[in-house]
Amino acid sequence: MKRMLFLACLIVSAGVSAMDLSVLRHNREWKKIAENEYAINFDGSRTWPALELKSPVLKPNAFYLLEFDGRSSNSSVHTQVAFRDTRHGKPCVSYVRWRGGEKYSRIALYFRTFDAGNGRFTLYINPGVSAQVAVRNFSLREISSLSRNLLVHGDFESGNDFLPHVVSSPEEFSVTDSPTFLCGERSLRLRKKSHEETKIVSGDLPLIPGRTADIRFWVRSARNTVSVQLMLDCGRPGQNRHLYKLYKFKAEPDWTQICFQYRIPEDSNTYTALQDHLCKLRFALLRSPETAEVYFDNIEFRIL
């Protein structure tokens, strides 16, 4: 089942032409190590080393998917992509974080344009944690259909669309071998310690006010019944009211498919965050006296 779904996603994606992007300019800390491949030995200083991509002319009010291969010697380093646009004629910028492992994996990040035209994508590293970071093979495609699975790596076979939010140690959040699933080889694993919690968050996902968000996934616990929480989070910086929807469910030792739907409000004046047309998924193992270990697979998110 997993492989069939993954192949279907590839077929749909192949029908939408992707544009290869090259690097326009970069700070001297970034070094070109091969064709369209760049690396940096970042020392954690307050330099914000930038690597800017050469972007095509973008359509206004459109969704775009930026993809590239990324790796990092330290997964805690704060790597991000900034997208610069104009909104009602005024400059605006949005930042989306990404996370690489020791080996290259495919990174997939969604952005929505406003006035567009000459929008710019730039990779930055925030000061703090040092790491060796490398990126390569940039591509960009417009996403016009939102009815396919928008979580590009929701099967966890070749990547991971989630980031740690509240995690006490790296072992609490990982993609690992999962031979017990219906098919495929890897699943997302969350763990939590006694009296602690573990929370993860996806990157930005497309959203349309007045349409229905459809969320489906498979889940199982390593042992016993575990209480899990999912949040569809429509919050954005500068909003007037925080729009979100909570779902609570039980993970049992056997794989079970969970399905939720939520009709997104149309009124973007009551919920100004909806004007950004983006949302996130958040999963949580909540604080409790028990330890817990839960596996997720084939996570799907669509706008119907």
Residues 36 and 139 in one domain: yes
Residue 257 has pLDDT above 90, yes or no: yes
Looking at the structure of the chain, the number of domains it has is 2
CA 141 – CA 63 distance, rounded (Å) = 9
Residues 85 and 172 in one domain: no
**Same domain membership, residue 139 and residue 33:** yes
Confidence of residue 4 (pLDDT cuts 50, 70, 90): very low
**Is residue 45 predicted with pLDDT exceeding 50?**
yes
Give yes or no: residues 262 and 170 share one domain: yes
pLDDT tens for 113-165 read 998 777 899 999 999 999 999 999 999 999 999 999 999 999 999 889 999 88
Q: Is residue 1 part of a domain?
A: no
Based on the fold, state whether residues 132 and 196 are members of the same structural domain.
no
Q: What's the pLDDT score for residue 166?
A: 80
pLDDT-derived band of residue 18, with 50, 70 and 90 as boundaries? confident
Contact 42, 131 (CB under 8 A): yes
> What pLDDT is attached to residue 16?
57
Do 109 and 176 share a domain, yes or no? no
298 Rama class: left (phi>0) / alpha (psi -120 to 50) / beta: left
Q: Do 84 and 169 reside in the same domain of the chain?
A: no
Per the CB < 8 A criterion, the answer to whether 56 and 19 are in contact is: yes
- φ, ψ for residue 288, nearest 5 deg: -160, 165
167 — pLDDT class (breaks 50, 70, 90): confident
Task: Decide if 226 is inside a domain.
Answer: yes
pTM: 0.90
Does residue 299 sit in the same domain as residue 189? yes
Tell me: pLDDT of 10 over 60: no
| CATH code for the domain in which residue 75 is found | 2.60.120.260
Same domain for 167 and 138: no
45-67 mean pLDDT: 94
**Is-contact 160 152, C-beta < 8 A?**
no
What per-residue confidence (pLDDT) applies to 179?
Answer: 67
Mean pLDDT for the stretch of residues 79-94? 93
In a domain, 205, yes or no: yes
Does some domain include residue 257? yes
pLDDT at residue 14 above 80? no
What is d(CA 188, CA 190) in angstroms, rounded to the nearest whole number? 7
CB proximity list for 251: less than 8 A, separation 6 or greater: 219, 220, 221, 225, 226, 227, 228, 294
Say if 294 falls within a structural domain.
Answer: yes
Residues 169 and 298 in one domain: yes
Give the C-alpha distances (Å, rounded to integers) separating 136 from 75, 110, 177.
17, 18, 26
Domain boundary, last residue among 96, 113, 143? 143
- pLDDT by residue (tens digit) across 271-293? 999 999 999 999 999 999 999 99
Is 181 found in the same domain as 139? no
Give φ, ψ of 7 to 5 degrees.
Answer: -65, -35
Structural domain boundaries, residue 40? 17-143
Is the pLDDT confidence value at 246 over 90?
A: yes
Which residues contact residue 228 at a Cβ distance below 8 angstroms, ignoring those fewer than 6 apart?
A: 219, 248, 249, 250, 251, 283, 284, 285, 286, 294
pLDDT at 71 over 80: yes
Mean pLDDT of the chain: 91
What single letter denotes the amino acid at residue 107?
Answer: I
CA of 185: how far to CAs of 179, 218, 300, in Å?
6, 14, 17
The lowest-confidence range among 96-105, 158-167, 231-240 is 158-167
Q: Which two tokens stand for residue 301?
A: 């998110």
